[in-house]
Amino acid sequence: MLTGDQEARLVSNSRLLLVAVCAFNRWTLDDIVAAYKIGTAECLKQLLTLDRMGVIALMPGNRIRLCIARDFDWLPDGPIRSFFRRESLNDFLAGPFNRTHETLEFVHGMLTDAALAQLQLELRRLRSKFAALHEESAAAPLNQRRGTGLLLANQEWEPAAFRQLRRRPAA
């Protein structure tokens, strides 16, 4: 995990966050400059900031080495998750999810504590599998990789419309 200060610094600067996400996804400096309206000097400045933060090492020839595990996690109530909820979650969920490689699945049920523990284990396994597939895909040229978001979420939940109809608060 990054520290709260590191996360706060990332979300305080959209260009720094962009370069960080690209670096975390194994983009090169040239890839970033080619894809985004950010010049080489600005990109180098952001990469040097990330280097000083300890999340990457900027190597000779402007090569980027990650100093974090690919499957690292954001702080549970940290600045990155707050930023995602505030700035990106609705945008992510607004997609049509109708292309060949897209899916949106939602299920609801009532589970025991033992079943919830099993579900949590499976979600962690899926997250690890996603990280492994990302590492495997990193060797492919950038134009053969697709930016892919995977939302893994579960919580004890009841729709607000249902909660409003309860005679007593849910236990």
C-beta atoms surrounding 11 within 10 Å: 19
- The pLDDT tens digits of the residues spanning 58-86 come to 999 999 999 998 668 889 999 999 999 99
CB distance 53 to 45 below 8 Å: no
Q: What is the pLDDT of residue 2?
A: 92
Q: What is the pLDDT of residue 170?
A: 59
SS3 sequence, the chain?
CCCHHHHHHHHCCHHHHHHHHHHHCCCCHHHHHHHCCCCHHHHHHHHHHHHHHCCEEEEHHHEEEECCCCCCCCCCCCHHHHHHHHHHHHHHHCCCCCCCCCCCCCCCCCCCHHHHHHHHHHHHHHHHHHHHHHHHHCCCCHHHCCCCCCCCCCCCCCCHHHHCCCCCCCC
Q: What is the pLDDT of residue 45?
A: 98
Q: What is the pLDDT of residue 141?
A: 94
Q: What is the pLDDT of residue 157?
A: 77
Q: What is the pLDDT of residue 163?
A: 79
The list of the chain residues with pLDDT below 50 reads none
CB distance 22 to 32 below 8 Å: yes
**CATH class of the 1-94 domain in this structure:** mainly alpha
Every domain of the chain and the residues it spans: 1-94, 95-171
Predicted TM-score (pTM) of the model is 0.82
Q: What is the pLDDT of residue 44?
A: 98
